Structure 1
Amino acid sequence: MDDIRSRWENVRQNIEQACLTAGRDPRKVNVVAVTKYVDSDRTQEALDAGLTHIGESRVQDGVPKWETLGRRGTWHFIGHLQRNKVKAVVGRFSYLHSLDRFSLAKELSRRFQAAGETIRCFLQVNVSGEESKFGLKPEELPEFAREVAGLPGIRVEGLMTMAPYVEDPEEVRPVFRELKSLQKELKKLEHPRLTVPHLSMGMSRDYQVAVEEGATYLRLGSVLVGREK
């Protein structure tokens, strides 16, 4: 695999171009380096290259890396989290990108409140409707968001979606556009704990389109750090 610094520079240039197209400030776009397919050494390279957000999707892989490197960077849990694994997330991960069940929300609230901490959560919406993907149905979002907003220990940071895997990124533009629309609808509720300022959408294949449609957090793996396993 080539140098992460050069990969990161290329990604930054692409983000800047997408922001120019959309009339956005590139400083508003955060990049989470998804390191779930690489080891701790490669993750450290990402941190050394200046990437400050690290994304993991499995507790059994992410926690050992955090134990080695966790004093550096901000750690995001981006995968499907089981309730019995919440304890391992407390004190290690600052963000969860995949909140889609109230049972999980209650467990997060209980654990993080007991620890005197708050976890920033993205509500995962299955905009594309694919059966293989987790997430709320769009019509379920308002009620779920209100319920979660009432829980201590949780801050609703925004919305997250995963677009279908396609060759042409333009094909998934409507998915990102719909998540942006859902964000606007939640803002109309004028709930003090539902300001939902962020959108977590866009991966290695389609991140430029996601930026053009309003993404504020990108989850980038292969384009930044490659794959080892």
Structure 2
Amino acid sequence: MTLAGLHRRGVTPTAINAFVRGVGITRSDNSIINLDRLEYHIREELNKAAPRTMVVLHPLKVVITNLGADSIINLDAKRWPDAQTDDASAFYKVPFSNIIYIENSDLRMKDSKHYYGLAPGTSVLLRYAFPIKCTEAILADDMETILEIQAEYDPVKKTKPKGVLHWVVAPSPGVDPLMVEVRLFNKLFLSENPAELDDWLADLNPQSKVVHMRICHVLAAECCSWGPISV
């Protein structure tokens, strides 16, 4: 990585300086610092001021059966994770209705001990919203593809689920969809130290940058991103 490359991806000088101070000085030659350490300092810096938004790339429809079709609940959402509760400008309103969307990968038909998503009969917390419990999964004719799920929400928030999911609300009638571009960045190389390889170019990660462009009919409130999300 170069300083120019880090800057182009939205990394602040403060985060880079914090990383350098945390690493310190060593007399060892060819020492390698794990990339996760740099990512930690970047994340800590961006959590203080970088605006966030929730985006669902592969939507799965969720129908809240115990909430009226005409009911809209406006919820407070943080513009960034470390927002202070006494700063009104750090919050904005997110609508919650009886139809929302979650990521398709956040639902499984069978629950397990270390699974924190949604499954029939289990509950999750919707970020900034309410706990919901999956009561039924509606399948397609192939009995494998999940078309939508039905759930009940807990308006008094007595349920204590182990997982938290991001989500988006269905658009209001008559609202035009938006074209959204989302850039997903991953590590540039597949191995930890490509300098040790004879052919380091062959170690490039083909998924280091993935761009999603689509008509997005479901947009709302918080997705962590190091760089800007173009809308």
Tell me if both proteins adopt one fold, taking TM over 0.5 as the criterion: no
Q: Point out the structure with max Rg over C-alpha.
A: 2
Flag the structure with higher helix content: 1
Flag the structure with higher strand content: 2
Q: TM-score range by the shorter chain?
A: under 0.3
